[in-house]
Amino acid sequence: MVSPEASLLDYGCGRGHDIQHLSQLGVRAEGWDPVHRPDGRRRPADVVNLGYVVNVIEDPGERASALASAWELTQRLLIVSARLGSEVQLGDYEDFNDGCITGLDTFQKFYTQGELRAWIDQTIETRSVAAAPGVFFVFRDEALKQSYLSARYRRRRAAPKLRKSDVLFEEHRDLLEPLVGFVTDRGRLPAEQELSETEAIETVLGSLRRAFSVVRRVTGRDQWDQIRKQRQDELLVYLGLMRFTGRPRFGELPADLRLDVRAFFSTYRNACQLADELLFTAGDMDMVSTAIRSARVGKCTGNALYVHVDALPHLEPILQMYEGCARSYVGAVNGANVVKLHRQEPKVSYLCYPRFDAEPHPSLLGALVVPLQTLDVHYYDYRDSGNPPVLHRKEQFVPEDYPHRAKFERLTRQEERWGLFDDPRSIGRRDGWLRALAAGSVQLRGHRVVRKKGNFRQPE
């Protein structure tokens, strides 16, 4: 959302450190602050950032005025962020007005996710979008809003590999590769204005359709059919979740999304009807539980499915929609790389394992739990825990093309041979896992199991 092409105003910029950093990145950033930069220029900008400002304003009227003033200066996007109560331990803070006084004798207003969203929406009479816990986007530009929201549910796809050689394809490979990239991303042929190489392709091969038939001849049809189905599912998830933020009229969609809808569903009405059916299905816990049991990726336990965030696009649409309901409320959870989809009650948890790739059995740093019925978000902090939960069998969490999957699988096979998983209930936390290693007289060296000195026992 922030780029060198867009102007940015940091409204309440403090001493201006963010402005300096953004300027070094080539962003046209300016700032104003009533205390530290009262002479800063407050003028309209493409993007206005109201970052952790409203939570330090004591007077509710002044707080609302700051939000309204920032919105008035916004041309495309307003970013509003504030502290959430789930992030902090209140400790000895003293209640004051609708907030509290901190140990530094400063005012803080701690919000819930729902409270912050409702206050933003009511104050400036619009509908915000959750970007992350405590961070909301408010769009002036409806097309930009829909492009952002639809991109949340897009998966990165690799182009199908060549199955056989073809003289015509090899001769014009450089010309055809942009077409391959477009269809891989969108699942459909481009309109004439969507691909800069269209004229050159038509001159050489007659039409985009004929050119793509050459591509299909060397890759096979099945992979492209799968890509088309994936893109259809992405659009249904996106349109279904738009029920929460206000589904746009067809004419408010960006041009590329309008072309997608026509290509896959003929009419917007058909697309919305199918999206609603999928959304309502995701609210049926029996169907969610069935989908979890049959999931082809992720680690399924008695009460949940655990998946790495890279595996989310590989889930069935009903489970993508289920997780999307939580994400539409809290946005992207910074640092969360494992998602827990509960199957006995409507709830999604976002788990943070900072050293997922580096450590053979990473420890849980924190968990954000989103109950979908009450939306009473809770955060559980394990940073100071002496015995945090740890992960096993990491290959089950990730998709087949995950870069480190083979290494994870090799470690699991070794641990199975040494009998380290014989008592799974005792190894879920770090202390129990260390006891299992000690009992087996083995240790881990990277993602390998090695004997301790003096251990002559052979793995089974």
Q: Which of 395, 413, 431 is the last residue of a domain?
A: 395
Residues sharing a CB contact under 8 Å with residue 299, sequence separation 6 or more, in sequence order: 305, 306, 307, 393, 396, 397
Query: Is residue 246 assigned to a domain?
Result: no
Q: Considering its fold, how many domains does the chain have in total?
A: 4
Q: Identify the segments of the chain with pLDDT beneath 70.
A: 87-92, 162-165, 454-460
Q: Do 409 and 391 fall into the same domain?
A: no
Query: Is residue 280 assigned to a domain?
Result: no
Q: Do 369 and 408 fall into the same domain?
A: no
| Model confidence, pTM | 0.85
Beta bridge partners of 370: 348
Q: Do 32 and 90 fall into the same domain?
A: yes
Cα 35 vs. chain centroid, distance in angstroms? 36
Say if residues 360 and 369 touch (Cβ distance below 8 Å): no
- Burial per residue of 412-441, b for 16 or more beta-carbon CB atoms within 10 angstroms, e otherwise: bebbeebebeeeeeebebbeebeebbeebe
Q: Do 13 and 47 fall into the same domain?
A: yes
Q: Quick one: tokens of 247?
A: 């589904």
Query: Is residue 78 assigned to a domain?
Result: yes
Query: Is residue 1 assigned to a domain?
Result: no
Query: Is residue 336 assigned to a domain?
Result: yes
Q: Do 11 and 133 fall into the same domain?
A: yes
Q: Quick one: tokens of 26?
A: 């080539």
Query: Is residue 88 assigned to a domain?
Result: yes
Q: Do 384 and 433 fall into the same domain?
A: no
Q: What is the predicted pLDDT for the residue at 151?
A: 87
Q: Do 372 and 422 fall into the same domain?
A: no
Query: Is residue 188 assigned to a domain?
Result: yes
Q: What is the predicted pLDDT for the residue at 456?
A: 57
Residues sharing a CB contact under 8 Å with residue 418, sequence separation 6 or more, in sequence order: 440, 442, 449, 459, 460
Q: What is the predicted pLDDT for the residue at 163?
A: 67
CATH of the domain at 85: 3.40.50.150
Q: Do 373 and 420 fall into the same domain?
A: no
Q: Do 136 and 28 fall into the same domain?
A: yes
Q: Do 325 and 367 fall into the same domain?
A: yes
What domain range includes position 410?
A: 402-451
Residues sharing a CB contact under 8 Å with residue 215, sequence separation 6 or more, in sequence order: 169, 176, 179, 180, 183
Say if residues 282 and 327 touch (Cβ distance below 8 Å): no
Q: What is the predicted pLDDT for the residue at 153?
A: 80
Q: What is the predicted pLDDT for the residue at 458?
A: 64
Q: What is the predicted pLDDT for the residue at 69?
A: 96
- Please give the Cα distance from 259 to 237 (Å, whole number): 17
Q: What is the predicted pLDDT for the residue at 121?
A: 96
- Please give the Cα distance from 139 to 133 (Å, whole number): 18
Q: Do 186 and 205 fall into the same domain?
A: yes
SS (H, E, C) the chain: CCCCCCEEEEECCCCCHHHHHHHHCCCEEEEEECCCECCCCCCCEEEEEEECCHHHCCCHHHHHHHHHHHHHCEEEEEEEECCEHHHCCCCCCEEECCEEECCCCCEECCECHHHHHHHHHHHHCCCCEEEECCEEEEECCHHHHHHHHHHCCCCCCCCCCCCCCCHHHHHCHHHHHHHHHHHHHHCCCCCHHHCCCHHHHHHHHCCHHHHHHHHHHHHCCHHHHHHHHHHHHHHHHHHHHHHHHCCCCHHHCCHHHHHHHHHHHCCHHHHHHHHHHHHHHHCCHHHHHHHHHCCCCCEECCCEEEEEHHHHHHCCHHHHHHHHHHHHHHCCCCCCCEEEEECCCCEEEEEECCCCCCCCCCECCEEEEEECCCCCCEEEECCCCCCCEECCCHHHCCCCCCCCHHHHHHHHHHHHHCCCCCCHHHCCEHHHHHHHHHHCCEEECCCCEEECCCCCCCCC
Q: Do 174 and 128 fall into the same domain?
A: no
Query: Is residue 234 assigned to a domain?
Result: no
